[in-house]
Chains A and B, each alone.
Chain A
Amino acid sequence: MSVSALSRAPSSRRVLLIALSTLLIALVLGMEQLAPLFRALFPDQDPAMYQRESFLNLTLAHLALVLVSSLISVSVGVAAGLFVTRPAGREFEPLVSTLAAIGQTFPPAAVLAIVVPVAGFGFVPTLVALVLYGLLPVVQNTVAGLGTVPAQTLEAARGNGMSAWQILWRIELPLAMRVIIAGVRVSVIINIGTATIGSTVGAKTLGTPIIAGLVGNNLPYVIQGAVLVGLLAIVTDLAFERLEQRFSFGASGAAS
C-alpha cells in the first residue's frame, strides 16, 4: 500500500467519519439525556423515552448479530467465490451464482417465517435470514474482483515460478481485495438495516424500540431506534470506504 493512497483520501471524509462516530457513541451512551427534548416535542406521549432496555445493550446486541452473520456470509461467500474461479470449480459458477441470487430475492421476513418454526424465536432465525441475505454481494464481488486481475499478471506470476497457492495469496487476493471489500461493505450495510426486522421474532436489536413504537403507536421510540441504526450504517459505510482505498493500486487508485 502506498503512502500516497492514504493522503488521496479526502480529509473532509475523515472529519465526517470522526464526527459521526462521536455522535453515534454519544447517542448510544447518553440518549436518556435527551428525554426533556423528546417530552417537549411529543407532549402527548408518555413515556417519551424507551427505557425497557439500555441503548448500549441494544446496540451491542445489534452489532453482535451483524458481526456474526457477516462473518459467516463473508467466509462462505469468499470461499464459494474462490472455489468457482479455480479450474476445479469453474463448472459450478452458474449454480453458485444462482443460489446466491435466490438467497437475496427471498424477503427476509419470509425467511423468518420459514425458519422460526424450525429454529424457534430470537437470535438464530434472524442470523439465518441475515446470512442468506448478505451472501450474494460477497460471492458476486469475489468472482468479479478475481476477474479483474490481468491475465498477463497471472502469466508473469506463473512464469516466475509461483505455485497456485502463492499466486492466490500474493497476487490474486491482494489485487481483488478492493472489489471484494466493496461487496462486504454492501453486505454489512444491508445487514445493519435488515437486522432490525429480527425484533419481530424476538431477537434483541436496535429494531426492538422501533417495533415497540410501531405496535404501541409511540413515534419517539421509532425515532430513537431508527436514528441509531441509520447512524450505525453511515459510520460503517464511511469506515469501509477508507478500508477500500487502502487496496487501490495503479490507475484505479490514481483516479480516486
Chain B
Amino acid sequence: MIELQGLTKRYGDTRVVDDISLTVEQGEFCVLIGPSGCGKSTTLKMINRLIAHSEGKILVGGDDITTLPPERLRRRIGYAIQSIGLFPHWRVADNIATVPRLLKWPSSRIAARVDELLALFQLDADGLHDKYPHQLSGGQAQRVGVARALAADPDVLLMDEPFGAVDPLTRDTLQAELARVHRQTGKTIVFVTHDMDEALRLASRVALLNAGQLVQYDRPAELLVAPANDFVRDFIGRADLGLKLLSRRRVEEYCRPAQRTRNNAIASAPITWQVDADDRPMALLGGRLGESDIARTVVNPEWIATPEMSMKEALSRMVWFRVTALPVLDNEGRLLGEVTMSGVMGHRS
C-alpha cells in the first residue's frame, strides 16, 4: 500500500507537484496520467526517492520512506523504465539478477528466480538467458526490464512509461502480458503514461494530473462517465468516449438470454438462434441489417463473442459482419446467451 499525503515538490518558486494526496491500495494498478510537465514522473520518482520531496509524506507499506536508507528502500520497490535502462554490458540473466545480487541472495536461489521470471515473461526460449541487451528486440528488452523490476519479489512496482519506446503492436502484447502478470502476482503497481488508451486498458485506478495538481482519482469507468470537469473530459477525448467506455466493459455484463430453436421455423422473437443437439449455435434467424426478418445467417466462427471479450470488440464485429446480434459462447462452443446492438445502447452503468 502506498500513501501520498500533501506531497509537494518545489524547484525554486515553481511547484511542479502541488499538494497531492492519494492512496494506492494493496494489489491496485494505479496509473498516473496527464499532459507532459504535469508532474506525473516526478511524483513516481519521489516514491523511491530518486527525487527528494519538498513537503508532505510518503508511506510505503506503512513506513515513512524517509526513515529508510534510499538504497534499502529502492531494493524493496521494483523500478522499470524504457528499455534503454538495461545494463548493456550484462547478459539478460545478470540484468534480471541485479537486485537479488545486491541483496546477496545465494546464487542457487538467484538462478532459480531468474529462470522463473524468464518463464513468466515467455523469454525462456531461444537461449535468451545469455544474450546481451543489444541482441534483443524492443519487446524482449522491455520484458527483461519488467522482469528485473520483479526479481526480488517486491510488493510495489513503479513503472515510468515502460512501453513508450516500442511499436504499437508490441505495446499491445506487452500491455496484455503486464495485465496477466498483475493478475497472477497481485503486486501494487504505480504506472506513468501519457497514453489514455493504455491507462484505461491497464488501470484499476487512474490519477489524472494537471500542472502538478491531482484533478481526479477514480476508477477508469467513473472517469469516463463522471468526469470531474472539462479538463478531464477533454483529456479523455470527447470524440470516442463511448467506445472507450465499451473497451472497459466485458461481454458478460451485456449478455442476455437467447431465444433458441432446433429447426428452421421462425420463432416469435425477432432474433432467434438455431442450435444443434449440443446447444451449439448453427445459424441466426433474423437480425440481419437491411434484410427481412426471416433471413438466415450461418454462424461464422469470426462473429461470435466470448464472456471475456471487450464490448468494444463485440460491437466492432457486429458492425463488420452487418449483424445486430452476436452469440456468446462458452469454452465448449455452447450458446450462453446473446449480445445485441440494442443491448449496447440500453445498458447503463
Residues of B with C-beta under 8 A to A174: 89
Interface residues of A in 142-181 (CB under 8 A from B): 150, 152-153, 155-163, 166, 171, 174-175
Whether A160 contacts B82 in the complex (CB less than 8 A), given A171-B87, A254-B134, comes out as no
The answer to whether A163 and B132 have CB atoms under 8 Å apart is: no
Judged by a CB distance under 8 angstroms, whether A250 is at the interface is yes
Whether, in the assembled complex, B57 has its beta carbon less than 8 Å from a beta carbon of chain A, the answer is: no
The dominant DSSP class at the A interface is: helix
Q: Is B99 an interface residue (CB 8 A)?
A: yes
Asked if A160 meets B98 with Cβ closer than 8 Å, knowing A249-B88, A249-B132, A250-B134, the reply is yes
- Among A156, A162, A251, A254, point to the contact of B81 (Cβ < 8 A): A156
Q: Is B85 an interface residue (CB 8 A)?
A: yes
Q: How far is the CA of A188 from the CA of B79 in the complex (A)?
A: 42
Binds A, one of B20-28, B58-66, B68-76: B68-76
Please name all residues of chain B whose beta carbon is closer than 8 Å to the beta carbon of A51 when the two chains form the complex: none
A105 within 8 A of B: no
A2 within 8 Å of B by Cβ? yes
| A2-B132 contact, Cβ under 8 Å, with A159-B48, A161-B102 | yes
- The answer to whether B71 touches A152 (Cβ under 8 A) is no
Q: How large is the interface on B (under 10, 10 to 19, 20 to 34, 35 or more residues)?
A: 20 to 34
Choose among A163, A166, A175 the residue that contacts B88 (Cβ–Cβ < 8 A): A175
B337 interfacial by beta-carbon distance below 8 Å: no
Per-residue A-contact encoding for B263-303, CB less than 8 Å = 1, 0 else: 00000000000000000000000000000000000000000
Residue of A nearest to B102 (CB): A161
B339 interfacial by beta-carbon distance below 8 Å: no
B139-178 near A? 1/0 per residue, CB < 8 Å: 0000000001100000000100000000000000000000
What string of 1s and 0s marks CB contacts (under 8 Å) between A61-74 and chain B?
A: 00000000000000
Min CB–CB distance B258 → chain A (angstroms): 52
Q: How does the 8 Å CB contact mask read for B108-140 relative to A, with 1 for contact and 0 for none?
A: 000000000000000000000000111000000
Interfacial chain B residues near A158, Cβ < 8 Å: 50, 74
Selected from B82, B87, B99, B158, the residue in CB contact (under 8 A) with A161 is: B99
Query: When chains A and B are docked, how far (Å) is the Cα of A161 from the Cα of B84?
Result: 18
In the bound complex, residues from chain A placing their C-beta under 8 Å from that of B79 are 156, 159-160
Question: When the two chains form their complex, are residues B134 and A152 in contact, meaning their CB atoms are under 8 A apart?
Answer: no
In the bound complex, how far is the Cα of B103 from the Cα of A166, in angstroms?
Answer: 13
Closest to A1 in B: B89
The answer on a CB contact under 8 Å between B102 and A155 is no
**Cβ–Cβ < 8 Å partners of B87 in chain A:** 153, 156-157, 171
List A contacts of B85 (CB < 8 A): 152-153, 155-156, 159
Interface pair B75/A160, CB less than 8 Å apart = yes
Measured CB to CB, the closest approach of chain B to A160, in angstroms, equals: 5
- Residues in A neighbouring B149, C-beta threshold 8 A: 160
User: With the chains together, A150 CA to B81 CA distance in Å?
Assistant: 13
Q: Is the CB of B84 within 8 A of A153?
A: yes
- Chain A contact residues, CB within 8 Å of chain B: 1-2, 150, 152-153, 155-163, 166, 171, 174-175, 249-251, 253-254
**9 A-B pairs with C-beta separation under 8 A:** A153-B88, A155-B81, A159-B48, A159-B50, A159-B79, A159-B158, A160-B148, A161-B72, A250-B133
Question: Which residues does B use to contact A, with CB under 8 Å?
Answer: 48, 50, 71-75, 79, 81-82, 84-89, 98-99, 102, 132-134, 148-149, 158
**Further 9 A-B residue pairs, CB within 8 A, beyond A2-B132, A161-B73, A162-B71:** A153-B84, A155-B81, A158-B50, A159-B158, A160-B74, A161-B75, A161-B102, A250-B134, A251-B134
